[in-house]
């Protein structure tokens, strides 16, 4: 059993829960409630106007009620026991949520806005939020933390500023925005957090975050998992009227990579990803279809069966792609994207965000059993939901202890380039920019440019020229965090 609160002198991490009736929450925590007199005094002394809140005495009354009452279903009674719940220590738990618990929210779009709002209203007052995108006019109908004046500004910064302004009576509230990609922050940045909430709209970034939390979960000298290094990850996703929420306890439950096969290659594109700074050819196509067409032909409906209309979108998408240095816009891709755009639905975001924050709250307070471990919400034909256990994959390339994958090659004459495209970037591993080496040499390296140039000649050589039967390939890729990679043993099938 592990506990999600730090010891007095530790970094914010899990600690082993005592096998006693004592609370696993440190005794150093004190009540974070303030009196009306104190609130009014702060209001008078502050240069910034403060709204007088009559509930400052018991700011989180509803949350506190959950922590003051005993329950037959605490964390220690479930299949993922994180610690022991003690209702007599509710004030200490509230203090922990307000002052100590560090939360990271990744994504400040439709789902991320809901996550941030729910987290603060649930008592999490030390929050970091990451998003690289800027606000577009098409976001305003569902991303409720933004206003028309915010168009063109950073999502992370505007979301943080909005919540700080609305909740300024919470004097200990700290929301720190980061305008960057998740891959740009080093591992030490992520180690500071107690829990991470993901509201990402693409598989690649979610794979990266998953590999990162798995990589920092370390083993002790006896080969046992060190609970003080575990960072729970709660992942949420929506697509139209469907959504999912998932709890990942690194190296304890299955990880995101274990179920990668359940995500088919992307053929539909969430609305919230296409109107901001484009990163993919599909984003450029969707922008031309949804934004530029309406701007240029406000009274004419787009005809998906018209070759002339489709050609116009294709040409506009090519121009936008060239503007941002994106390759890969084709007429066939334009057809596929235009016919598979799925609008984001605000109500679905609200449902999934509530699930995710609820699981984070349970993980940090032990007040109830955590979900084990995957929940599906399907609202297209009514309201149906289903919770089930995603089992760990025995040969998962991220979280399993299996030393090597075995890759059988039927044809040793295929080139390294073909091997990368068919095997590594194929449906089994779905890598994007793999670098490959053996114990003897670098076969192909994506970076730095000098090393890529030096190894690119190997792409046209056959596998038989480069490796021998039984050789181990060490493979890294941008979809994985530093230190996480794939080891694969090459085996040639005899003719």
Q: What is the DSSP letter of 456?
A: G
Task: Report yes or no on 201 lying in a domain.
Answer: yes
372 and 325, same domain (yes or no): no
317 and 245, same domain (yes or no): no
149 and 211, same domain (yes or no): yes
Give dist(CA 403, CA 282) in Å, integer: 37
Report pLDDT for 48. 41
Q: What's the Rg (C-alpha) of the chain?
A: 25
Report pLDDT for 31. 34
Report pLDDT for 274. 59
Q: What is the mean pLDDT of each run of 10 residues along the chain (495 residues)?
A: 45 43 35 39 40 50 88 82 84 91 96 97 96 87 93 95 94 95 92 96 89 89 84 93 94 91 64 64 89 90 85 94 90 83 85 96 92 91 90 87 74 87 83 86 88 90 88 86 81 72
237 and 386, same domain (yes or no): yes
Active-site pick, 101, 198, 255, 272: 272
132 and 42, same domain (yes or no): yes
Task: Report yes or no on 412 lying in a domain.
Answer: yes
The two three-digit tokens of residue 304, written as one number: 């998906």
Task: Report yes or no on 105 lying in a domain.
Answer: yes
434 and 461, same domain (yes or no): yes
Task: Report yes or no on 171 lying in a domain.
Answer: yes
Report pLDDT for 271. 52
Q: Cβ(112)–Cβ(129) under 8 Å?
A: yes
439 and 485, same domain (yes or no): yes
Task: Report yes or no on 314 lying in a domain.
Answer: yes
Per-residue pLDDT tens digits for 42-82: 344 434 433 334 334 457 888 888 898 888 888 888 877 77
SS3 258: helix
349 and 219, same domain (yes or no): yes
**Within 13 Å of residue 11, how many CA atoms lie on the same side as its CB?**
11
What ranges in 339-481 are assigned the alpha helix state H? 346-365, 416-419, 449-455, 463-466
254 and 327, same domain (yes or no): no
Whichever domain contains 278, its CATH number is: 1.10.10.520
Give the pairing type, strands 384-388 and 405-409: unpaired
In angstroms, the Cα distances linking 102 to 13, 139, 191, 225 are 10, 28, 10, 22
Task: Report yes or no on 400 lying in a domain.
Answer: no
Element (DSSP H or E) covering residue 335:
helix 331-338
Give the pairing type, strands 102-106 and 195-198: parallel
What is the reported pTM? 0.75
Report pLDDT for 212. 93
321 and 447, same domain (yes or no): no
454 and 380, same domain (yes or no): no
Residue ranges with strand state E in 184-293: 195-198, 233-239, 242-248, 269-270
Task: Report yes or no on 121 lying in a domain.
Answer: yes
What ranges in 402-479 are assigned the alpha helix state H? 416-419, 449-455, 463-466
Report the number of distinct structural domains present in the chain: 3
Range of the domain at 322: 269-339
| Residue 272 bears catalytic tag | yes
Bridge partners, residue 277, by sequence: none
Whichever domain contains 34, its CATH number is: 3.40.50.720
Give dist(CA 294, CA 288) in Å, integer: 9
Q: What are the φ and ψ backbone dihedral angles of 106, each rounded to 5 degrees?
A: -105, 115
286 and 253, same domain (yes or no): no
Whichever domain contains 431, its CATH number is: 3.10.290.20
Give dist(CA 486, CA 429) in Å, integer: 9
């Amino acid at each position: 059993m592990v506990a999600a609160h730090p010891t007095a002198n530790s970094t914010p991490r899990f600690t082993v829960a005592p096998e006693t009736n004592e609370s696993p929450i440190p005794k150093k925590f004190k009540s974070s409630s303030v009196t009306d007199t104190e609130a009014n005094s702060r209001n008078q002394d502050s240069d910034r106007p403060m709204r007088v809140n009559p509930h400052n005495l018991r700011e989180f009354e509803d949350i506190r009620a959950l922590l003051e009452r005993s329950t037959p279903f605490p964390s220690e009674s479930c299949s993922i026991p994180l610690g022991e719940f003690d209702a007599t220590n509710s004030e200490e738990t509230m203090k922990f949520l307000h002052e100590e618990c560090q939360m990271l929210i990744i994504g400040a779009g439709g789902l991320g806005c809901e996550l941030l709002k729910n987290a603060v209203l649930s008592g999490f007052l030390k929050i970091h939020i990451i998003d690289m995108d800027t606000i577009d006019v098409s976001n305003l109908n569902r991303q409720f933390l933004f206003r028309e004046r915010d168009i063109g500004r950073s999502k992370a910064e505007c979301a943080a500023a909005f919540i700080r302004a609305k909740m300024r009576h919470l004097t200990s509230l700290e929301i720190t925005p980061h305008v960057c990609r998740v891959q740009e922050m080093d591992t030490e940045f992520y180690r500071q957090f107690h829990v991470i909430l993901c509201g990402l709209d693409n598989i690649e970034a979610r794979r990266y975050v998953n590999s990162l939390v798995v990589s920092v979960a370390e083993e002790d000298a006896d080969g046992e998992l060190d609970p003080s290094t575990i960072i729970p990850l709660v992942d949420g996703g929506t697509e139209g009227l469907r959504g999912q929420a998932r709890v990942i306890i690194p190296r304890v439950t299955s990880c995101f990579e274990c179920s990668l096969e359940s995500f088919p290659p992307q053929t539909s594109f969430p609305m919230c990803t296409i109107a901001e700074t484009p990163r993919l050819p599909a984003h450029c196509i969707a922008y031309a279809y949804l934004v530029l067409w309406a701007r240029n032909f406000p009274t004419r409906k787009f005809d998906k069966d018209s070759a002339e209309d489709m050609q116009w979108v294709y040409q506009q998408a090519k121009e936008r792609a060239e503007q941002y240095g994106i390759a890969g816009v084709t007429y066939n891709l334009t057809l596929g994207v235009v016919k598979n755009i799925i609008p984001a639905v605000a109500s679905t975001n609200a449902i999934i965000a509530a699930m995710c924050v609820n699981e984070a709250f349970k993980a940090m307070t032990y007040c109830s059993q955590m979900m084990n471990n995957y929940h599906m919400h399907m609202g297209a034909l009514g309201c149906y939901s289903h919770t089930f256990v995603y089992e760990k994959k025995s040969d998962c390339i991220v979280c399993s202890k299996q030393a090597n994958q075995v890759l059988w090659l039927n044809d040793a004459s295929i080139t390294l380039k073909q091997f990368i495209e068919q095997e590594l970037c194929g449906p089994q591993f779905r890598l994007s920019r793999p670098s490959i080496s053996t114990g003897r040499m670098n076969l192909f390296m994506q970076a730095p440019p000098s090393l890529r140039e030096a190894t690119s000649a190997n792409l046209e050589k056959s596998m038989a020229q480069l490796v021998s039967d039984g050789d181990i390939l060490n493979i890294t890729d941008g979809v994985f965090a530093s230190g996480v990679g794939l080891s694969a043993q090459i085996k040639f099938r005899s003719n």
